[in-house]
Amino acid sequence: MNCHESIGDRIARQRRRQRLTQEQLAERAGLSVDIVRKLEQGRRQTARLATLNALARALDVEPSVLVGQPTTFEPKDNEDTASVLALRQAVSPASAVLGEEPDSEEPPPLGQLRASLRSTEEIRREGRMAAIGALLPQLIRDARAAAHAFTGDERAGAWAVLAEAYQVAATTLTALGREDAGFTALERSLDAARRSDDPRLETVGISTLSWIFTKQGRLADAERVALAHAERIEPGFRSQPLDLALWGILLLRAATAAVRQEKEDAVVEALNMASAAAARIGRDDLVYATPFGPTNVGVARVNFLVEMERSGEALRAARAVPEPRSLPPTWCARFHVDRAIAHIDLEDDEGATRALLVAETAAPEWMRYHATSRRVVAELRGRERRRNSPVTELANRLRLDA
């Protein structure tokens, strides 16, 4: 993917491949031709995710093709090399197709596998993508070998580690625009979860599946699987906080898909139920590496308001979010990126830049991989008159011209 292309360049290139005029593309996407023209002419660098999904659907491509996100790991000095190919090989080894036995090397003890998984999940929450890419293939190989070598309770525990490791692989590959490979990893995760000693892992996998469907532009599927599973596990009066949280996470996944379909009533309904679950829990916790509680629900509300172009309301809601710094770094960074988008909509470029710099402080490496962050910075830089400014320096750190 050419990183020098703008989002408008990519839309225009795909449109020409389909032999469509701007007017025909707009009609097929259900958008005004003015939006298509402004994007293609570079007068707009950002667009609502609902708009991007509509354009991707009309052009028969995945949204990642249009947004231009990085598709491989950054090279790092003094670290093991991260490789998308190595991650693919770990998720889908040739030996599995050939019916061969896993590597005969003795796997690590279960306690060591669990410690490696916890370390990898912490790295993911920090947004250190290259480190994930370097460590994850070996963790998957070790957990798969353990699942075949161990017996009894240890075997079930190894399947649980493997299920979560596959989920990390699924989100990592999808974040790099490799949605189909991510889907394969998620299928492996769900299979491992059903062999494990933890019945809740299937719910975690369904939540990740909804997210992957959203990234693929399969918004109706994303909403449907999240809501169907939420209905299946709907908590009762005596439910544990963990089960309430998993239910709430599914509702937020459904709301994310609904907002990109511009189904505001569905968004409000799902968000209200998730808010009630968070209020009942009364605190923020990590639930299988995903935060849930009043803070994360507040952050989600801001995201939905931004997507619905209710920017003033989004910024007011952002000020009411309790302690966003208590969230994992990548969630905190995304919150501030949403604040930046709201500031841009209100023609406050200085406020947007300040929000982006806070986001970078929280998760600098994640910012370089995150497509929305890169688009927002590119738009601000395009309007900047000074050769040296905070936003041009930020663009350089994000390697927008690399």
Read off the pLDDT of residues 217-230 as tens digits, 9 standing for 90 and up.
999 999 999 999 99
Backbone torsions φ then ψ of 26, nearest 5 degrees: -60, -45
Answer whether residue 157 shows pLDDT above 60. Answer: yes
| Beta-sheet strands, E only, within 235-353 | 285-287, 290-292
Residue 306 near residue 312, CB atoms below 8 Å: no
Q: Where are the domain boundaries for CATH 1.10.260.40 in the chain?
A: 1-68
What pLDDT score was predicted for residue 22? 92
pLDDT score of 42: 77
Per CATH, the architecture of 1-68 is what?
Answer: Orthogonal Bundle (1.10)
pLDDT at position 120, please? Answer: 93
Q: List the single range of 78-87, 159-168, 252-261, 307-316 with lowest mean pLDDT.
A: 78-87
Which amino acid is located at 51 in the chain? T
Is 308 a residue whose pLDDT tops 70?
yes
Segment of 37-51, 166-180, 220-234, 374-388 carrying the highest mean pLDDT: 220-234
Query: Quick check: helix, strand or coil at residue 62?
Result: coil
Mean of the pLDDT values across residues 144-160?
Answer: 95
The bridge status of strand 290-292 relative to strand 285-287 is antiparallel
